[in-house]
Amino acid sequence: MGTAIHPETVLIIDFGSQVTQLIARRVREAGVYSEIAPFQNAEEAFRRLRPKAVILSGGPASATDIGSPRAPDIVFESGVPVLGICYGQQTMCAQLGGKVETGDHREFGRAYLEIETDNPLFEGIWAPGTRHQVWMSHGDRVTALPEGFKVIGISAGAPFAAIADDKRHYYGVQFHPEVAHTPDGARLIANFVREIAGLKDEWTMATYREQAVAAIRSQVGEGRVICALSGGVDSSVAALLAHEAVGEQLTCILVDHGLMRKNEAAEVVEMFRKHYNVPLVLVDASERFLSALHGESDPEKKRKTIGRLFIEVFEEEAKKLGGADFLVQGTLYPDVIESVSFTGGPSVTIKSHHNVGGLPERMNMELVEPLRELFKDEVRALGKELGLPNHFIGRHPFPGPGLAIRCPGGVTREKLDILRAADAIYLDEIRKAGLYDAIWQAFAVLLPVQTVGVMGDSRTYEYVCALRAVTSVDGMTADFYRYDMEFLGRAATRIINEVRGINRVVYDVTSKPPGTIEWE
């Protein structure tokens, strides 16, 4: 998952918290590269990455249980600064000779931290004698500190809510500084990585571009390269990086699987052929994909089928080109995180349409994944660095399986045409209202139910269309966008009037916590 190109790295050991990825985001916002490793693989990750600091995440386990997760001993033997958050604080104290107990003083939600003393962790944000809102989520709590630690902050339910061993550069907080509900929490994490650990703010997209291009050249050498181009921001940025690195050794392949948005294939071809002069092959495989998907309602089988067919098409096109040694893919860090079951859960199925774990041996090709270490907003920043136009950089994400997963139930060409038309109208209304850039992702879904309705003097029996819009930063978490009713009424009226096959429109107001799938 990592490389050796980041001399200053913060390793985040994941104990199963739902918000571990937010810690990584906060570290990167401070200008320092970070990487997450599950606690089971933490020792290997530590030796590979040689981090300059370590953060221990929260998690659902109890530090008082026999066999509960622990940080590897190498972390504390290495002398690098360590910050423990929630469970991370508890296991750090337990491992270093302190005491953790399960009691009746639980804290979940908003709490208030009272600052006891000056400390580098609080520099510039919190002063002694002041009281600040933080976000708690714990049942256990530290009841005795290891030797060398002191209390620097308390709360009603946690007498050791913030602790420090300044000599060894060990720090622990019972609250979650990484979440938005802890104002100034991001600055606390920045204090740890920048001031305490002494790391420089050298994590920039200009630097990453240079390193990624060099890494691609080193990996590819004189080999032939094909790129899986979908037309989305991720694959487009990956393609431009690869083209900058290896030039004419690269050929992009755009597979029109019949599941794309309206006019999408034509728009992508025009941009890459005319504006970037990147070699591009357009493959119309819509009949092949739709035949294989016809009537299939199981969402996981849809993803597996689409992934398998993509591989087959790339194999065939590579042979037509005289063979290929490498396949460029726009895998992002969230794809990697969600594809690895860090704590034994079912998240391995979430990105099953991606080839995150590698390609089938029969392909005899090696994956090139230049964006594998980036979050979505970082990819957009890199796209800007590469010269992609703003309207394209800000384009809403579109999943690899395309409209197949926005058409729950059986997939047919008729249903896809209805969905494609409704989706185009919805996005058109969003743009007209000036809301497109305020929304991270918006799309229509054709629900697998039909309802009776009356349109004019006739009774209809047609599909229900659901509209979704969410706000997010990196796609790992999302909250629904709060439209006003005037907008929803306008969009719904256009869809019902202009799209035959839909007689009812609803708005989805669910949120996306970490590790959930869009609509399945």
Over 352-376, what HEC string results? Answer: CCCCCCCCCHHHCCEEECCCCCCCH
Alpha-carbon span 73 to 50, nearest angstrom: 14
Task: Answer yes or no: are the C-beta atoms of 50 and 9 closer than 8 Å.
Answer: yes
Q: Say if residue 181's pLDDT is above 90.
A: no
CA dihedral 206, 209, 211, 217 (to 10 degrees): -150
Alpha-carbon span 280 to 251, nearest angstrom: 6
The predicted-structure confidence for 207-260, as pLDDT tens digits, reads as follows 899 989 999 999 999 999 999 888 788 999 999 999 999 999 999 999 999 999
The predicted-structure confidence for 346-365, as pLDDT tens digits, reads as follows 333 434 444 545 667 777 88
**Those residues with Cβ within 8 angstroms of residue 83's Cβ, 6 or more apart along the chain or in another chain:** 53, 54, 55, 56, 171, 172, 173, 189, 192
- Quick one: tokens of 156? 């009603």
CA dihedral 87, 89, 95, 99 (to 10 degrees): -90
pTM: predicted TM-score of the whole model, two decimal places = 0.78
Q: What is the pLDDT of residue 254?
A: 93
The predicted-structure confidence for 155-172, as pLDDT tens digits, reads as follows 887 889 999 999 999 999
The predicted-structure confidence for 427-460, as pLDDT tens digits, reads as follows 999 999 999 999 999 999 999 988 887 776 677 8
CA dihedral 291, 295, 297, 299 (to 10 degrees): 0
Task: Answer yes or no: are the C-beta atoms of 16 and 343 closer than 8 Å.
Answer: yes
The predicted-structure confidence for 469-485, as pLDDT tens digits, reads as follows 999 866 666 789 999 99
Amino acid letter for position 193: V
Alpha-carbon span 471 to 478, nearest angstrom: 6
Pairing of strands 9-14, 53-56: parallel
Over range 503-509, report the average pLDDT: 93
Residues labelled as active-site residues: 86, 176, 178
DSSP state of 165: E
Name the residue among 224, 243, 404 with its Cα closest to residue 323.
Answer: 224
The predicted-structure confidence for 29-42, as pLDDT tens digits, reads as follows 999 999 999 999 99
**Those residues with Cβ within 8 angstroms of residue 391's Cβ, 6 or more apart along the chain or in another chain:** none
Report the interhelical angle of 376-385 vs 205-220 (nearest 10°).
90
Give percent of the chain above pLDDT 90.
Answer: 61
State residue 367 phi and psi, 5-degree precision: -75, 140
DSSP state of 411: B
Alpha-carbon span 265 to 251, nearest angstrom: 16
Alpha-carbon span 407 to 288, nearest angstrom: 18
Name the residue among 246, 71, 54, 325 with its Cα closest to residue 168.
Answer: 54
Return the residue matching tokens 């002069």.
277
Q: What is the pLDDT of residue 202?
A: 87
